[in-house]
Structures are given as structure tokens and as C-alpha cells.
Amino acid sequence: MLEAIGCGWFSKDETPAEATAPASVSTPGSPPAPTTQWRSRSFLLRGGSPVEIRFPADDSAAADEGAVIDAILVGLTAVLDTLSIDDPVPLTVYVHPDVRSQLRLTGKGGEGHADVTRKEIHVLHAEPPVVEAMASHEGTHVLAHHALGPPGTTLMDEGLAVWVADAYGGRSLSAWALDLAQTVDRRTLVGPGFEEAPESEAYPFAGLFVRAAVRTVGLAAVREHLVPATPETWDAALAAAGTSHAALVAAVAP
């Protein structure tokens, strides 16, 4: 039996399913991820695309589990709406009770991460607004990758995710724009310099850069030219979109 909730549908059947939550990035020689039991709930997003939300079966349902589920669905729907994705790939969402559990099962810490190959995201059980932002951010990595193609730069990969979530580190993009630090040359963020820059600078800037690009040339041009551009084709892609790197950096504003 299916019952409507929020922006999707869920099955009221909750038969535990055994599944492995693997690390999003495989490391040669790394041990396999532990296997655990999951309570799975199935939903449908736009176009009938299935979303499976999994909670550890050995954890009883929290009082706010319904609100957390709704937050995930709202966050994922925001990805589809913001990026104009009409036919998303199926997605599995793992909800971990805490960082320690996520680290044990996936080898990854932090608030969440995505695995584009397995079409899955991992988020922490938190307040619904925080979960919504995590689902939007991590969901963008998977859904955009399969709908728009692999991003050619980390700047655009993380920039899309931060822009869609409209926040980073609990702060809105507009708040970041007011006092964003600049300790590195913005141009270096197009290439390997992104990973070398302070995360608290690179990630908010990436989101603000994508926001400026969408405002300047439109989403269609961003999808067509900027997302697939590599550091080597960056300037040509920006020119094809009708702008330049310097113009978009200057357009980064509240």
C-alpha cells in the first residue's frame, strides 16, 4: 500500500533488508565495509524515479523520523527543480545516527557524502533543516552527474551542490558573500588549487560563482558549457556561454 507524504510516496512495508553501505571512494587494499541490516522505505520522485531511504534496523525509529524523511524528499526535489532535471536516476539514501556509525560503515566521516557510481548518498540524522541541506548538497552530486554529465572541474562539481543547497557550513550563500575570505587566487580554484585551498573559502566561493554564472548567462548555458568544461577548456567554454572568468568573479556578490 502506498500513502502520499510530502513530495513523494512511501511504502508502509518496512521489511529489513541486508545491505552494505560502502565507502564512496574505493581505496586499493582497503578492507570491505561492514554489513548491516537496514529498514528501507521506498519513495517516488518526479518521473516515477525511485528513492530508497534506509535507516539502521537495530535503531528504533526516532520520533522525528517522519520529519527527517520529508526533509530528504524536499531536499532532493529542490535538486530537480533548481537544475531542471526531469528524469532522475534511482537513488538510495543512507541515514546514519552519528559520524561514528557512518565512519564505521563507509570509511567516510563528515556530515555526508555521495557515491555517484552506486547512485547513493549518506547523511547524518539531524534536525530536518540540516538534513534537507545535506540531501540537496549530496543529492546534487549524484543527480547532476547522471543528468548533466560528469563535471569537468571540482569548482563546478562542488559549486553546483553548494548553490542548490543555498548554504555551506550552516550559513546561507548571501551571508558568505558578505565576508568571504580571499587567501588564494580565484583562478587557481579552476584546477588542482581547489583541493589545496581552505575548504571554508573554496566551497562557498564555488557556490557563489555558480550562482553568479546562472544569473549572468542562465542555467541552460551553465549546463551546456560550464559544467563539462575542464581547466584546459575553461576559457573557451566561458566565451561560448557569453562571459569570462573575470566577469563572473566580479559578479560574485550578495
Ranges of the chain with pLDDT below 70: 1-35, 254
> For the chain, how many helices (H) and strands (E)?
10, 10
pLDDT at 201: 95
Domain span at residue 176?
Answer: 154-251
- Looking from the CA of 57 toward its CB, the CA atoms found within 13 Å total 13
Nine cell digits for residue 92: 538510495
pLDDT at 10: 37
Same domain, 181 and 222: yes
Same domain, 74 and 30: yes
Q: Quick one: which of 55, 41, 57 has its CA closest to 6?
A: 41
Mention every residue, 6+ apart, whose C-beta is less than 8 A from residue 232. Answer: none
pLDDT at 19: 42
pLDDT, tens digit (0-9, with 9 covering 90-100), for 57-77: 877 778 889 999 999 999 999
Here the CATH number for the domain that contains residue 77 is 3.40.30
Same domain, 32 and 111: yes
pTM of model > 0.75 = yes
Same domain, 181 and 160: yes
Same domain, 135 and 175: no
pLDDT at 21: 39
> Rounded to the nearest 10 degrees, how much is the dihedral formed by the CA atoms of 247, 204, 69, 26?
100
Same domain, 131 and 40: yes
pLDDT at 240: 98
Number of domains in the chain: 2
Same domain, 139 and 209: no
pLDDT at 110: 80
pLDDT at 200: 94
Same domain, 172 and 76: no
Cα-Cα end-to-end distance for the chain: 47
User: Quick check: 138 and 121 in contact, CB under 8 A?
Assistant: yes
pLDDT, tens digit (0-9, with 9 covering 90-100), for 100-128: 888 887 888 788 899 999 999 999 999 99
pLDDT at 109: 77
- As a whole number of angstroms, the distance between CA 1 and CA 9 comes to 10
pLDDT at 99: 87
pLDDT at 7: 41
Residue whose grid cell is 565576508: 179
pLDDT at 98: 86
- As a whole number of angstroms, the distance between CA 253 and CA 158 comes to 18
**Last residue in a domain, options 86, 119, 148:** 148
Same domain, 171 and 185: yes
Mention every residue, 6+ apart, whose C-beta is less than 8 A from residue 74. Answer: 6, 7, 132, 135
Same domain, 212 and 86: no
**Last residue in a domain, options 95, 129, 148:** 148
Same domain, 12 and 46: yes
**Last residue in a domain, options 148, 164, 183:** 148
Same domain, 142 and 159: no
